[in-house]
Chains A and B, each alone.
Chain A
Amino acid sequence: MRVTQGTFSFLPDFTDQQIHEQVQYCIDNGWALSIEHTDDPHPRNTYWEMWGHPMFDNPDAAAIVFELNECRKVYGSRYIKIIAFDPSPGWESIRLSFIVNRPSEEPGFKLSRTEIKGRNIQYSITPYSSDKPQGSRYK
């Protein structure tokens, strides 16, 4: 399966040039860029690991693409996403978030059902990969 979180997961994976274009759009809007990676793609895993601080002061997208490639060298077998933060009043949150690196194989998620009173069912979703300890989930 393909994890389709993020703004552009239904498009073919981006080249570095395409990533550069999207990142430059964010910079030109005054947003700070951050690179985050994880081996736990649960849809409610809000806090992926940060690759350094968000980048606030880089006028050119090459800086972010450069860091992305540094991150890929270390965590190339994980999910990596680029996030743009907008600090303007009334928003102060994320404006764009897209996956730029993914494991070669994505085993997907297990859906567990627990039957409780009546016909009510409690659902929980677990990434198959999270059976293994953190750090050894993807090759």
Chain B
Amino acid sequence: MANEVEEKVVKAVSEVNLKEDFQSSGVADILSELDNSLIGLEPVKTRIKETASLLLVDKAREKLGLVSESPTLHMSFSGNPGTGKTTVALKIADLLHRLGYVRKGHLVSVTRDDLVGQYIGHTAPKTKEVLKKAMGGVLFIDEAYYLYRPENERDYGQEAIEILLQVMENNRDDLVVVLAGYKDKMDKFFESNPGFRSRVAHHIDFPDYSNDELLEIAEVMVAGMNYKFNKGSIKAMAEYIELRRKQPHFANARSIRNAIDRARLRQANRVFNNSDGPIGANFLSQIEDVDIRQSRVFSGGIDK
């Protein structure tokens, strides 16, 4: 009798159905959402799919008793500002949650100032506070390299790094850390911090968006705010993107969002000045090419 039961148990976990797990865990949904909602980023998407498959297979192997140790999940995202690192981190948190690698799946996004204190004894509690908030989810540290300031020997960043490394190692089941920043600075950071290098298993590069991709992003953003482009304003936007890219402080999608926010301001001003009688929804949602072309970028100035 006891043997029978045991046999059944063994049998139940001697096979796994990966395709079924893929669907039922909701991983499939997230990946297709990633595909549909994010424009461009093909190499990133590929890397994430690979990682997801690996983790799914790992879970399956764990079920069959083929692996015992939990995999290292800490990641680094390198790329220029506005290339979708935070957005992808949110999806990753959800993905890891569905796969059963983190319990809650929330994202806590911080920078150096949230971790490092101003005086002796300030840093450790600050860093621990942040780590505790992130437990059960993903801690996203933007511009992680600023934690490390070799030029200042009194810098408290080193203390934060030590606590961070300790928790990344000892509490692997409790949180996943994503370090993010510019590619070249991240590379240098990992070179001078072997502790991080050995604890971060997945490096993902975020390429800049092409002009066409940015235009597509602009259209999605505008539609998301219930505004509309017309032929003229689309053309203006395309020209804006070309000009803006050549200027300093270009931040990919973030620059586009800022440009649209300014265009909305100008549009509001225009609508207000030109409206004497009643106006309709159409008029209120239309972004005209003048709303974009008034930007300083077109006269050789700089939009930050």
What residues of chain A have their CB less than 8 Å away from a CB belonging to chain B? Answer: 52, 55, 57-64, 66-67, 70
Contact = CB atoms under 8 A, between A and B. Distances in A.
A63 B133 CA distance: 7
B133 A62 contact: no
30 contacts: A52-B125, A57-B133, A59-B104, A59-B106, A59-B133, A59-B135, A59-B136, A59-B137, A60-B103, A60-B104, A60-B137, A60-B174, A61-B136, A62-B103, A62-B135, A62-B136, A62-B173, A62-B174, A62-B175, A63-B132, A63-B133, A63-B136, A64-B132, A66-B132, A66-B167, A66-B171, A66-B174, A67-B128, A67-B132, A70-B128
Given A58-B132, A60-B137, A66-B131, 19 more contacts: A58-B133, A58-B135, A59-B133, A59-B136, A60-B136, A62-B103, A62-B173, A62-B174, A62-B175, A63-B131, A63-B135, A63-B136, A64-B132, A66-B128, A66-B132, A66-B135, A66-B167, A66-B171, A67-B128
Contacts of B137: 59-60
A57 B125 CA distance: 15
Interface string B165-181: 00100010111000000
Contacts of A64: 132
Interface string B155-167: 0000000000001
Contacts of A58: 132-133, 135
B90 to A, nearest CB: 15
B161 to A, nearest CB: 18
**7 tightest A-B contacts by CB?**
A60-B136, A63-B132, A62-B174, A62-B135, A60-B135, A63-B135, A58-B132
A62 B171 CA distance: 9
Contacts of A55: 132
Nearest to B174: A62
Interface of B: 103-104, 106, 125, 128, 131-133, 135-137, 167, 171, 173-175
A61 B136 CA distance: 8
A60 B106 CA distance: 10
A57 B133 CA distance: 6
Contacts of A61: 136
Contacts of A57: 133
Contacts of A66: 128, 131-132, 135, 167, 171, 174
Contacts of B106: 59
Nearest to B167: A66
A87 B49 CA distance: 44
A113 B137 CA distance: 56
Contacts of B132: 55, 58, 63-64, 66-67
A64 B175 CA distance: 14
A99 B245 CA distance: 61
Contacts of B133: 57-59, 63
A8 B19 CA distance: 44
Contacts of A52: 125
A66 B172 CA distance: 12
A59 B167 CA distance: 17
A59 B131 CA distance: 11
Contacts of B175: 62
A135 B214 CA distance: 64
B71 to A, nearest CB: 18
A67 B106 CA distance: 20
A62 B133 CA distance: 10
A57 B134 CA distance: 10
A64 B136 CA distance: 12
A73 to B, nearest CB: 12
Contacts of A60: 103-104, 135-137, 174
Contacts of B171: 62, 66
Contacts of B125: 52
Nearest to A63: B132
B239 to A, nearest CB: 46
Nearest to A52: B125
A20 to B, nearest CB: 10
